[in-house]
Amino acid sequence: QHYLQQIANAKPLNAILHVFEQEAMAQAAELDAAVAAGKPLLPLHGVVVTIKDVLNYEGQPVTAGSHMLEGYKAVYSATAVKRLLDAGAIIIGSTNCDEFAMGSTNENCAHGVVRNAADPNRVPGGSSGGAAVAVQAGLCMIAIGSDTGGSVRQPADYCGVVGLKPSYGRISRYGLIAYASSFDCVGVLGQSVADVAAVYDVLAGPDGLDSTAMQDQPTPAVTALGTAQKPLRFAWLQPTLGETSPDAEIQSAIRNTFAQLEAAGHTVTAVPFDLMEYIVPTYYVLTTAEASSNLGRFDGIRYGHAAKGNADDLTAFYKQNRSEGFGTEVKRRIMLGTFVLSAGYFDAYFTKAQQVRAKIVAETSLIFSAFDAILMPVSPTIAPLLGELNQDPVSMYLADIYTVFANLAGIPGLALPLYKHSNGMPFGLQVLCNRGEEVLLHRIGAYLE
Ligand code: GLN
């Protein structure tokens, strides 16, 4: 009831799309009854959670922030949703996001912009902007988001909360509306590393319903949080605190942390990384290609927006449905994706980008053979003003430089809200570990927090 009240009070932030009041209260009553009957507490007993509007929860509306899915109700639940409920969590509502999770400001959304609770004239980041604000403004304890190219970590950074993107495949994607399938990850936002770790432990692990899920049973992260910290070997990729990072305050805050880590006996080493300039183009070639294919299913017949006009034939009907249902940014990406996959350009763009991705994966694993973690900013700037970044798609894409790296490499990353800008806005540090090393990642996160 406290959280329902919080949600009602925070309407102007526009972070929550649907409140699942009945189901949430029913789950709460069931948990109380279980306690009264002397049953043991579940791992997430009574933890109040929101889910991004891209996760299916049976019987509940899910729209991926798009007119395309207006009025649609999920016919099954995502594995992540099932695991939350089975662990005793209360799913209180769904959160606003950029359409089909494409965006960095939560302004590309059919349901209106979300406002940053630290300064309502600023964006919350995206695409999981509603999720970050839901945690920031105390509308839930934990928000589940998705991270294809930073959509959990970057809004966490802009809103001053913790954001986890696990290794690719660590949490099942079953029931997550696809954007780019070889990049998409379910992620967790919370107030502390311990909170995020506890939820990660419930969500992570193999799933027969997702063939790309990692097969090994993950080691619990939460129990490792307090264990002694041996001297750690940190790397930072050389361009990341130079020409790609325009904000002097972000640079100096992070360099300060480096100095503190060195004073505490850890090493912090600059590593030249000459693939940095290829990261954003590679990401946008591959994700738009995958998106153009994934979004082919929204034809307005099986599901999705069906136009009212009288189309002459099936193709005209598809065209009308998709022209009306999708927003500008989604259309732009479908066009980019079909272009890079088209016969004449496939080798020049798509194949080339796959080769670059393989190089990035190989170089990253080489770095982790010598280092425990990579440290870098989450975003080149603090949260921009509404309308500031979204006017020009290319500059918006370029601002993803620090986050898309982890998705290209398939490695886990944690955004930690460690700093405050002189204008009062929060920003953070990003910690990246090798694929499958979530235990170490959380341990380092808790140490730095
Ligand atoms: N800004 C990135 C993009 O628009 C983030 C997307 C995401 O992680 N869902 O592609």
Residue predicted with more confidence, 217 or 244: 217
Distance CA 70, CA 76 (A): 17
39 annotated active-site: no
Residue 361 lies in a domain: no
3-state percent breakdown (helix, strand, coil) of the chain, nearest 5 = 40, 15, 45
3, pLDDT greater than 80: yes
Residue 83 lies in a domain: yes
**Mean pLDDT of the 419-434 span:** 97
148 lines ligand 1 (CB under 6 A): yes
Structure-token pair, residue 127:
């695409």
Residue 129 lies in a domain: yes
202, pLDDT greater than 80: yes
Residue 290: band (very low, low, confident or very high) from pLDDT cuts 50, 70, 90: very high
Q: Identify the pLDDT of residue 85.
A: 98
The size of the chain, in residues, is 449
447, pLDDT greater than 90: yes
Residue 237 lies in a domain: no
Structure-token pair, residue 446:
């808790």
Signed CA dihedral, 1, 117, 394, 253: sign only = negative
Distance CA 14, CA 12 (A): 5
pTM of the model: 0.97
Residue 38 lies in a domain: yes
Q: Identify the pLDDT of residue 395.
A: 86
What does each C-alpha distance from 275 to 142, 237, 324, 363, 434 come to in angstroms?
35, 10, 39, 9, 18
Convert the pLDDT of each residue in 117-128 to its tens digit.
999 999 999 999
Structure-token pair, residue 382:
């603090």
CA of 168 to the centre of ligand 1 (A): 15
The H or E element that residue 417 is part of is strand 413-420
Distance CA 136, CA 143 (A): 10
400 lines ligand 1 (CB under 6 A): yes
Q: Identify the pLDDT of residue 309.
A: 80
Q: Identify the pLDDT of residue 415.
A: 98
CATH number of the domain encompassing residue 79: 3.90.1300.10
CA of 29 to the centre of ligand 1 (A): 37
In terms of Cβ atoms closer than 10 Å to its own Cβ (0-12, 13-18, 19+), residue 386 is: buried
Average pLDDT, the chain: 96
Q: Identify the pLDDT of residue 323.
A: 96
User: For residue 81, which phi and psi values (nearest 5 degrees)?
Assistant: -65, -45
The preferred substitution site among 53, 96, 97, 104 for testing ligand 1, maximizing ligand atoms within 8 Å of CB, is 104
52 annotated active-site: yes
Structure-token pair, residue 301:
């017949």
Residue 285: band (very low, low, confident or very high) from pLDDT cuts 50, 70, 90: very high
ipTM reported for the complex, 2 dp: 0.98
What percentage of the chain exceeds 70 in pLDDT?
99
By residue range, what is the domain housing residue 38? 2-224
Convert the pLDDT of each residue in 21-64 to its tens digit.
999 999 999 999 999 999 999 999 999 999 999 999 999 999 99
Residue 110 lies in a domain: yes
127 annotated active-site: yes
Residue 296 lies in a domain: no
The count of structural domains within the chain is: 1
Q: Identify the pLDDT of residue 115.
A: 98
242, pLDDT greater than 80: no
Residue 220 lies in a domain: yes
Q: Identify the pLDDT of residue 190.
A: 98
- Locate tokens 């063939």: which residue? 211
Residue 389: band (very low, low, confident or very high) from pLDDT cuts 50, 70, 90: confident
Greatest alpha-carbon span in the chain? 72
Select which of 77, 104, 127, 146 is catalytic. 127
Among 270, 258, 240, smallest CA distance to 405 is for 240
Q: Of the given ranges (141-150, 154-163, 306-315), which has the lowest mean pLDDT? A: 306-315
Residue 310: band (very low, low, confident or very high) from pLDDT cuts 50, 70, 90: confident
Q: Identify the pLDDT of residue 346.
A: 96
Structure-token pair, residue 23:
């189901």
Among 96, 202, 196, 83, smallest CA distance to 155 is for 96
Who's near 47: CB < 8 A, 6+ residues apart? Answer: 88, 89, 90, 141, 142, 198, 199
Among 382, 328, 330, 393, smallest CA distance to 123 is for 382
Convert the pLDDT of each residue in 340-375 to its tens digit.
999 999 999 999 999 999 999 999 999 999 999 999
87, pLDDT greater than 80: yes
103 lines ligand 1 (CB under 6 A): yes
Select which of 77, 94, 104, 151 is catalytic. 151
